[in-house]
Structure formats: C-alpha cells, structure tokens
C-alpha cells in the first residue's frame, strides 16, 4: 500500500503518484454527483407529471396495459374480485380532483400518485356518518342553505364548485377484468346496449342528480332526465379520459354534427387536442393522444347510431344537446374515477351531496353487478348515497347468446337499499326478477319493485 505522502524515486514513481491523485479526485467527483442526484430525487413532480391524464397508457406502465384491447362485446369490465377492488391501503393513492374551476374551459386533472401518503379528509379512512334520513336535505349545513340552490340551473357559487372539485377519486384498478378471459384488460369506449330507450319514460324530466358508469349512455340519460348535477363515473381510467374529450369537444361545438366531426375526422380531433382549448383541458398528452386514436372511429360510429334512435337523443335533438352543453359549461356535469367496490369515491360523493343538499335521482349500473357478489363495501356505498324518494336504479343483464343484447330493468332505490340491508341481499340475482328472454327479438323491460322478506327472529 502506498501512502499519499510518500514520494517515489524516478519518473515511474511520479507517474504512480499522479495516477493515485487522479483516482482520488475522480472518487470525490463521483461522490458529489451521486449526492446531487440523490437530492434531486426528492424534488416534487413536474407539472407535466402531475397533470398527465389518468390512463392505462401513462409512461412507465407495463406494455400489457399499453396493448389492452378495445372490447366490443356484451360485457363491461369488472374488478378482479370484491376484495381486490373494494379495499385499498391508504398509501395506495391520493385524491383526484373533479372537473374544473373555470366555466370557459375544462380544468386540470391530476393523476393519482400510487405511492402518495397524503389522503384528503374525504377519503374512506374518514367516511361520512350515516344520514338520519335518506333525504339529502336532512342535516344540510346552514351555510349551504344560504347558497344558490343546487337543484336550479343558476351559476354555481365558488364554494359549491370547490366542494364538487374536492370529490376523492378511487385509485386505478390492478386489473380490468371481464367475464371472458379474452376480454381481460379491455376497455369499453361505447355502449353496446341497443335498447336503452326502454329507460326513457321512467326517468324523463325527473331532474335531481344523475350518476352512472360507462360513456355515451350517461349523455343519453342526462338528455332525458334533465338533472341539475351529473356525475360520469367509472373505474377504468380510459373511460374518464373519453369523458374529458367529450366534454371539451362539447364546449367547442354548437351542435351535434360538430361533436361527431371531432370523433369522425381524426385530423380535426388531433388538432383540437393540441389547440389552446385542448391544452387548457390537458388533452395534449401522449396518453390522451393514444386513447383518442384507438377509440375515435368506434365512438363516431356509435354517435351515428344514437342519431338514428327512434326517440330524441342528444344527437338528433338540439334541445338535449344544448342542455348537456350548458351543464358542462356551468361545471354541473363532472367526471371522476369511481369503483363501485371502492372505499373512497362513493363515500366522498355521498358526503359532498349531503353538504350541497342534493339527492341522487338516477343511478345507472349497467351490468356490472353480474361479475361479483355484494361486498360489505358495495352495500355501504349504495346505502349511504343520498337519494330522493323516487330515485331509480337502472341496470342491464347480458343475454347476448339469445338476443345479442340485454335484459333491461329498473328498481326503486329504496327497494334496493332494503335488499342490501337484508341478509338475503347477496347478489343481483336475488334482488331482481329473472324474466326469460323468449327469442332474438325479445328485449324484456322489468320493474323490480318487490321488497325482501321480513326477517323472523328466533
């Protein structure tokens, strides 16, 4: 071992000394660089990182998610299991704000940081208390009573907007599952339920609050129901991005032909995503670009089908189109990521509705209940949701092998809540009638208004 203060004789010794000193300097340099990089790793995420649209295509995710198929079948994705989808550790994710603070443009949307330890007050670890009554008006805070009425179409107050924007999102699901293995990981950019018009008479002009899963179905129902608040929800991040595109295009359009154009003409749609309005709505990201390219043709075809429906829709009725546009402009129509089995979003939505003195009038579940039994978390999510006395559950049941469509049914919310509070209310098959589909041209419409049996105590 050569000591640093030893001076070797001759040129060989000098060269050896220079090599040792160079090595020492290099070691110091490497240490300094490593220290600086370590410090930088604690820097908060850049705005682009924070504002990337939630999707299964964000940078750093697995290739399997990037290549997830678009499913055009007769089913909708479901969480892998009630346990997997319905329970998350507090460290799994933080809140996602709802849509916007500016009626002129869609506001920023932040992606969930799955390693975040910060959980907002509305998250599921602090669930709202059960209301004394089912009505949302019970226990409305005094300050809410002095604000603009939420059940009118007046401009929302800043306080009301802040409450809506603070709704907590559920975290991304670990897997997008489906009944058929070939569809696992798939996305559903449009509805394949061909007779949704069967619901029209039951919800027409009911007002109140709409909440439901899926994509274009929600706009159909809102156009018929004419609610004063609407929540487009789903557990699939792609669906939320599709809603954000719908909403941004809607604000830029005066009629349904323009809305169709942005999905039908890829160049026009992509140009919009990169425009000032697209940037303001945070649609100018690679993730959104991919989702648009993957789904725009199928969405354009779906909009044409809705235009040809035998009843009024937002695609063939200017009044319906403009009603939805006005809800979006006033920030009364919002989208956020919610898992029916999750422990954050529904608890937060219920709390927010109670604060605003609002009640759900229509809850659309599609055929999601076919894929799992009723977990305690799901029961809690529905039971604690403020609902009006005439509130309805809209659901479908896949009967594709017989009629290449679904069975359609409605159920009073109070009846469904009674079943969820009953020992026998364990699956959708137990709380609904199983009406036989008679053939390829039969599309049953069922009213499930029967109450559960009385519980006899021993």
Report, as an integer, the average pLDDT of 352-373: 96
Task: State the pLDDT confidence band at 8, using cuts at 50, 70 and 90.
Answer: very low
Burial of 272 (0-12, 13-18, 19+ CB in 10 A): buried
Cα angle value 432/306/313 (rounded, 5°): 85
Average pLDDT over residues 137-144: 53
Q: What is the pLDDT of residues 20-35, one digit of tens each?
A: 444 445 444 444 334 3
Range in 26-40, 42-56, 61-75, 401-415 the model is least confident about: 42-56
Between CA 38 and CA 44, with CA 39 as vertex, the angle to 5 degrees is 115
pLDDT tens readout for residues 261-313: 999 999 999 999 999 999 999 999 999 999 999 999 999 999 999 999 999 99
> Residue ranges of the domains in the chain?
47-447
* Residue the block writes with tokens 């997830």: 68
How far from 189 is each of 66, 76, 259, CA to CA, in Å? 15, 10, 16
Rounded CA separation 370/353 (Å)? 28
Residue with tokens 């959104």: 288
Helical ranges in 105-176 per DSSP H:
142-145, 158-165
Return the SS3 of 359: coil
pLDDT for 149 equals 73
Most confident of 12-16, 28-32, 315-319: 315-319
């Amino acid at each position: 071992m050569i000591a640093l203060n030893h001076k070797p004789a001759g040129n060989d010794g000098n060269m050896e000394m220079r090599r040792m000193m160079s090595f020492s300097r290099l070691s110091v340099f490497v240490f300094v660089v490593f220290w600086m990089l370590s410090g930088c790793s604690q820097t908060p995420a850049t705005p682009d990182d924070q504002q990337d649209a939630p999707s299964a295509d964000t940078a750093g995710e697995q290739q399997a998610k990037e290549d997830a198929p678009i499913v055009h079948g007769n089913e909708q994705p479901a969480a892998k299991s009630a346990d997997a989808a319905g329970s998350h550790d507090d460290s799994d994710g933080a809140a996602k704000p709802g849509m916007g603070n500016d009626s002129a443009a869609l506001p920023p949307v932040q992606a969930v940081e799955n390693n975040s330890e910060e959980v907002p007050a509305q998250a599921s670890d602090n669930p709202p208390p059960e209301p004394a009554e089912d009505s949302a008006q019970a226990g409305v805070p005094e300050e809410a009573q002095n604000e603009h009425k939420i059940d009118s179409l007046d401009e929302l107050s800043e306080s009301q907007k802040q409450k809506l924007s603070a709704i907590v999102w559920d975290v991304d699901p670990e897997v997008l599952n489906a009944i058929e293995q070939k569809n696992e990981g798939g996305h559903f950019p449009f509805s394949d339920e061909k007779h949704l018009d069967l619901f029209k008479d039951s919800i027409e002009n009911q007002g109140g609050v709409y909440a439901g899963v899926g994509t274009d179905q929600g706009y159909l129902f809102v156009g018929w129901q004419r609610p004063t608040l609407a929540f487009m929800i789903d557990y699939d991040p792609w669906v939320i991005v599709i809603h954000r595109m719908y909403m941004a295009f809607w604000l830029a359009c005066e009629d349904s032909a323009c809305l169709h154009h942005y999905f039908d003409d890829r160049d026009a749609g992509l140009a919009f995503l990169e425009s000032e309005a697209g940037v303001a709505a945070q649609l100018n990201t690679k993730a959104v670009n991919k989702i648009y390219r993957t789904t725009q043709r199928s969405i354009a075809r779906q909009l044409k089908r809705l235009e040809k429906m035998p009843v009024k829709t937002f695609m063939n009725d200017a009044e319906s189109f403009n009603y939805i546009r006005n809800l979006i402009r006033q920030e009364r129509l919002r989208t956020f990521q919610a898992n029916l089995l999750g422990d954050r979003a529904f608890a937060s939505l219920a709390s927010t509705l109670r604060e605003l003195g609002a009640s759900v009038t229509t809850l659309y579940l599609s055929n999601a209940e076919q894929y799992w039994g009723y977990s305690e978390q799901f029961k809690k999510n529905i039971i604690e949701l403020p609902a009006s006395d005439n509130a309805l559950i809209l659901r479908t049941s896949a009967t594709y092998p017989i009629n290449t469509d679904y069975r359609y049914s409605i159920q009073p919310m109070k009846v469904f809540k009674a079943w969820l509070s009953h020992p026998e209310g364990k699956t959708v098959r137990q709380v609904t009638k199983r009406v036989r589909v008679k053939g390829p041209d039969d599309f049953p419409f069922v009213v499930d208004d029967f109450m559960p049996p009385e519980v006899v105590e021993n």
